[in-house]
Amino acid sequence: MLTPTRLLTVAVAAVLLLVTAPAGAANAHGSTIDPASRNYGCWKRWGNDFQNPAMATADPMCWQAWQADTTAMWNWNSLYRENVRGNHQAAVPNGTLCSAGNTGGTRYSALDTPGNWVATRVPNAAAFTVVAHDQARHGAKYFRVYVSRQGFNPLTQRLSWSDLILLKDTGPIGPGVGETTNDPVLGGVSVKIPVSAPGLTGRHIVYTVWEAGHADQVYYWCADVNFG
C-alpha cells in the first residue's frame, strides 16, 4: 500500500513527465530526413546540445529557431495541419509554407525565416532522392515533392506557392510501405522518392507535402539544398 508521501512522489513525477515530454512523442508521425527538413535537421544536429552558445555562430538559423521555440525541434515529426480538404494554398498562406501556415500558433514560425540554413549538398539536380520518414506507418494518399524555381533566394526570401515547381506526385502508398529502420528514435519506415530537377543550380528549397493515408492530416516540410 502506498503511503501519502509515496503517493505525492508518484503524482509529482507524473506531472513532470507531462510537462517535459515532447507534445508529439506519443503520436509520432514523420518528416523528410534526406534532405533534412529544417526542424528535423536542427534537432538531429543539436538535440543533445541545444543550449550550446556555439550554435549561434556555427548554425545561426537553427540557433534562432531554438531560441524562438524549442518544441518546434522536439516535435520535428508533428508539423502538420488537419482538415485541409485538399486546399493547401488556403490552409498554408504564402510566406508561411515552412511552418505549415503557422500551425500550432507561433511554435514553428521561425522555420519561415529566410537565412543561411544548413543545406544538404546534392551533386546532381537531375537525379536525386527525397527520403520521407513515415514514423507511425500511416501510409500516404500522396507525397508531392516540389522545388523552388531558379532565381528564388532562400537566404533572403520567404517561400510562396508561386515559387514552387512540382517534381513528383507519388499517388497512394500503403500503410507500412517503405524501408524499415533500426534507429530507435525514428522507428517506422522510410519512403524513397526519386525526383529530377534538371538545370537547377545553387541554393534551393525542396518542399514536400504529405497527406497521410489514415486521415485528412497533411504535413509540410522545407528542406534546404545546394545543387551542384
Structure confidence at residue 185 as a pLDDT band (50, 70, 90): confident
User: For residues 215 and 143, what is the distance between their CA atoms, to the nearest angstrom?
Assistant: 14
Q: Does 68 reside within a domain?
A: yes
Q: What is the mean pLDDT of residues 15-24?
A: 33
Q: How many domains does one find in the chain? A: 1
By residue range, what is the domain housing residue 212?
28-227
- Here the cell at position 143 is 507525397
Q: What is the pLDDT of residue 25?
A: 37
Q: For cell 500500500, what's the residue?
A: 1
User: For residues 83 and 75, what is the distance between their CA atoms, to the nearest angstrom?
Assistant: 20
Q: Does 143 reside within a domain?
A: yes
Query: Which residues on neighbouring strands pair with residue 158, listed in sequence order?
Result: none
Please report, for residues 64, 77, 110, 177, 201, the alpha-carbon distance to residue 171 in angstroms, rounded to integers and kept in the order given: 36, 21, 31, 13, 28
How is residue 109 annotated by DSSP?
A: G
User: For residues 63 and 86, what is the distance between their CA atoms, to the nearest angstrom?
Assistant: 34
3-state SS, residue 18? helix
Q: Does 195 reside within a domain?
A: yes
65, 76 Cβ separation under 8 angstroms: no
62-111 pLDDT, tens digit each? 999 999 999 999 999 999 999 999 999 999 999 999 999 999 999 999 99
187-198 pLDDT, tens digit each? 899 999 999 999
User: For residues 110 and 133, what is the distance between their CA atoms, to the nearest angstrom?
Assistant: 22
**Which CATH number does the domain housing residue 36 bear?**
2.70.50.50
pTM metric for this prediction: 0.88
Q: Does 11 reside within a domain?
A: no
Q: Does 2 reside within a domain?
A: no
37, 221 Cβ separation under 8 angstroms: yes
Structure confidence at residue 207 as a pLDDT band (50, 70, 90): very high
User: For residues 220 and 173, what is the distance between their CA atoms, to the nearest angstrom?
Assistant: 17
Comparing C-alpha atoms, which of 38, 92, 24 is closest to residue 66? 38
Q: Does 20 reside within a domain?
A: no
Q: Does 16 reside within a domain?
A: no
Q: Does 10 reside within a domain?
A: no
